[in-house]
Amino acid sequence: MNKEQVKGRIEEVKGKVKEATGVLLDDKALEVEGNLQKNVGKVQAGFGDLKQDLKDKL
């Protein structure tokens, strides 16, 4: 695993926690913020996966 994969997965988990907290507290802003953070983490992890795949092929 490279740094991008790790950072992305951490952001994804933080976003999921924030989103769940928003649902529990009925705070739409927190829920949306968590959803956004989760998706940014997915993209970052995906970039890390792509980077790792390219490195493995070379």
Tens-of-pLDDT digits for all 58 residues of the chain?
899 999 999 999 999 999 999 999 999 999 999 999 999 999 999 999 999 999 999 8
What pLDDT shows up at residue 48? 95
Distant-in-sequence, close-in-space partners of 29: CB < 8 Å, separation ≥ 6: 22
DSSP state of 24: H
What pLDDT shows up at residue 13? 98
With CA atoms as reference, report the closest residue to 34 among 20, 15, 11.
15
H or E stretch covering 5: helix 3-24
With CA atoms as reference, report the closest residue to 36 among 26, 48, 28.
28
Provide the 10 A C-beta neighbour count for residue 18.
Answer: 20
